[in-house]
Amino acid sequence: MTLDLSNFSKEHRFLILLDICCFSELTDDHQLKLINLVTSESKSLLHKGGYKEENIFSAFISTGDGFYFIGHKINSLFYANDCILFALSLRNTLIESFKKYNFDYKGVKLALHFGTTLPYIDITNRENFVGSAMNEIFRLLSPNNSQEIINISHDFYGHENTVIISEKALNKIGNLPNVGIRISKKFTIHAKHNKKFSCYFLDYTGRNIFILRSKKVKNSQICK
């Protein structure tokens, strides 16, 4: 059988990957409670930022220990900056919520990346995704040189609740939002298949910097 690929397209998107360390080791009940909390807090942040869920993310996909947030195919600085603010705010919000509700968790890690995705319609007739960007962002949170990365994160944060951004995504954005975000020195992730990714850690100590925007995405500056 020959598969007709003429109706499939490669799309460049921003992605966020959330990893809740040792999530798969939790009981079924705790996993369900935790994912409901993640969903609730994510929706709350999006609404505070002036977004409906479907207007910023195309899909929310489980990985086993975490979740992909698949961005829309919007190459705008406005949209990219909001993805960064959302990731930082979500990390801070989840840490507070996990402590408030006494969830036993080992750490919260998020990654941001920009790259190629391939949308397709899956067996449930919903849009799903494959592509190099999804593989690459997963590698950012599972480095072969994990101890080196842990040491860098401890020097920068003092803990392992991290937000990492690939140099590819940062170059696409240009400059970070001017809201007091700290950025680490550049470091290299060594991944499977001898791949390497240049990355940075990001940090913001406030709880929620994902704020309402007055400017619409469609009128924002387009990334070059």
pLDDT of residue 207: 60
Higher pLDDT, 210 or 169: 169
pLDDT tens sequence across 19-65: 998 888 889 998 898 889 999 999 988 888 777 777 788 899 988 88
Q: Which domains, from first to last, does the chain contain?
A: 11-219 (3.30.70.1230)
pLDDT of residue 175: 82
**Taking residues 3-24, what's their average pLDDT?**
84
pLDDT of residue 73: 80
**Is residue 114 within 8 Å of 13, Cβ to Cβ?**
yes
Rounded to 10 deg, the angle between the 28-48 and 77-100 helix axes is: 140
Residue 77 CA to residue 133 CA, distance in Å, equals 19
Mean residue pLDDT of the chain comes to: 86
Task: Give the pTM.
Answer: 0.88
pLDDT tens sequence across 170-216: 998 888 888 889 999 999 999 999 999 999 999 997 666 665 442 34
pLDDT of residue 3: 64
Residue 193: alpha-carbon gap to chain centroid: 23
Residue 208 CA to residue 45 CA, distance in Å, equals 8
